[in-house]
Structure 1
Amino acid sequence: MRKIMDTHIHLDKYKDEEISEILSEVDALVSVSMNLESCKRNYSLAKIHPTIRPAFGWHPEQELPSDEKLAQLFSWIQETKDESIAIGEVGLPYYLREKNKLAQSYAQYIEVLESFIKLAVRLDKPIALHAVYDDAHIVCDLLEKHTVKKAHFHWFKGDKKTVERLKTNKYHISVTPDLLYEGEIRELVQEYPLNLMMVETDGPWPFKGPFVEQQTRPRMIHHTIAEISRIKGIELDGVYKQIYLNSNEFYVVK
């Protein structure tokens, strides 16, 4: 059987009765967190299911926590460092900013992100990033400042200059099922190196095209990998093997 890893999913958002079936569709998955409550649920799920590789962080598309709550989160991540695979999901609030719905200043979000980047360096963990379009170059500045090597830009979207910067720094990206119907993502897959590419669902986020009105599940990844094979003109088995190798080496269990 061809092995797959969903490198970015919010497993804690699925119902308990759905999780076993979801896990049967993958060889491993990285379940990212939204906040401390989300971290704790992912932690508990990973204790039950060894194929879950949990990442702990604070999703940027929401109001920032108070200093006290942020300190609690950092303390908890430090205490459970041996149980996590990465710091994530963290980043910058592109979509909130676009809608003029930021509750705090953009500078505060950058400051919080830099704190998470420092934490990832201190704990020697990869970092899973929400950083698209105009935000991506700011995140690159911070990663370079702190000499971060293992950075994963999930569902990345950005201009050619930023794409080249990611390639130069050997940062990983991951591709979702929207590859089947989004020209922007197809162009990215065409030019990005396969050895720096992973796949994800970002479930339960829903998709359009052939996946409309379907619950987002890891099995959709097979369609994504087949499309990567077609776009890049690389034999299908080779794409499966390379992407699984990339994922396992990036999110390695120590």
Structure 2
Amino acid sequence: MKMIDAHIHLDHYKDKEIQVLMDEAGLIDALVSVSFDLESCKRNLQLASEFEKVRPAFGFHPEQPLPIVEEQERLFQWMEKHRTEMIAIGEVGLPYYRKADRKISAKEYTEYIALLEIFIQRAKEWKKPIVLHAVYEEAPIVCNLLEKYSWNRAHFHWFKGDQKTIARMIENGYFISVTPDVVYEAEIQQLVSIYPLEQLMVETDGPWPFEGPFAGRITHPNMMEESIRVIAKIKGLSVGEVSEKLRENTVSFYQI
């Protein structure tokens, strides 16, 4: 079983943890390491130079205060300079959890949307996939922007949403990826039962911790083995068939 981790924050692990993960990554062909901000982008680029399996994505995670204009300009200038070295733009999106916690005003929320729109424009201009943090009611807003720019190389990681949005995303050809919580979360299992295997990938979102059989363990790409077994069971297919298709999807989407 060969696997690709379609979404991990490798730069958020400690140096010793990264080395252990890479030493134990015999089943892993590649890891798409997404970025949090400019410093995170630089760190992921460094990791990609140290480890052949690391494929960096550059962006700004929305679940944090917005960067000021000058910081945004520095980020986009740096991304422009290093765009041939990135596999995708990401992680970008909208601040669902900050909004739910009432940490942002309505005006600030429109600024998050404006920043995301620039990232989508750049994705199309640079012909790069875009890795999206957009769940529940945020997802339709992101779909509107993707449709506005006719860009469908979109990967909604750890997605959660309503049936109407799911159908829209499938129709538009967007990909989703599921984390190890598919092993024990009914909501994610239901999503997998609906979403076409041809538009699925697997991820860890590490170092985010998981529960169930993974409780108390550091998040490791090898956990995706269990994810794949559950996906195979849901789809009524062999583990080998599903494993190969998920890998094929990720290779094709990210042009690895």
TM-score tier (shorter): over 0.9
Q: CA deviation at 1:21?
A: 2.5
Deviation digits for residues 45-81 of structure 1 (CA, Å, limit 9, x no counterpart): 1011121000000000000000000000000000001
Partner of 1:19: 18
SS in 1 for 2:217: coil
State the one-letter code of the partner of 1:15: K
Query: 1:71-220 residue pairs with structure 2 within 5 A?
Result: 71-102=73-104, 105-220=108-223
1:226 matched to 2:225? The reply is no
State the one-letter code of the partner of 2:138: D
* Distance of 1:121 and 1:62 partners within structure 2: 25
Deviation digits for residues 76-135 of structure 1 (CA, Å, limit 9, x no counterpart): 000001100000000000001000012662101000000000011111100000000000
Partner of 1:44: 46
SS in 2 for 1:40: helix
* Distance of 2:44 and 2:104 partners within structure 1: 27
* Distance of 1:102 and 1:63 partners within structure 2: 9
SS in 1 for 2:137: helix
Partner of 1:4: 3
SS in 2 for 1:214: coil
* Distance of 1:102 and 1:29 partners within structure 2: 32
Could you tell me the TM-score, scaled by structure 1's length? 0.98
Q: CA deviation at 1:180?
A: 1.2
Unaligned runs of 5+ in 1: none
Partner of 2:255: 252
SS in 2 for 1:133: coil
* Distance of 2:131 and 2:182 partners within structure 1: 20
* Distance of 1:251 and 1:195 partners within structure 2: 14
State the one-letter code of the partner of 1:37: E
Give the RMSD, CA atoms, in angstroms. 0.9
Paired residues, number? 252
1:55 matched to 2:25? The reply is no
Deviation digits for residues 177-225 of structure 1 (CA, Å, limit 9, x no counterpart): 0011111101000010001000000000001111111111101000000
State the one-letter code of the partner of 2:165: T
1:68 matched to 2:70? The reply is yes
SS in 1 for 2:6: strand
Percentage of pairs with the same residue: 53
* Distance of 1:102 and 1:226 partners within structure 2: 40
* Distance of 1:19 and 1:251 partners within structure 2: 22
Q: Which runs of 4+ in 1 moved over 2 A?
A: none
* Distance of 2:228 and 2:144 partners within structure 1: 31
* Distance of 2:223 and 2:181 partners within structure 1: 10
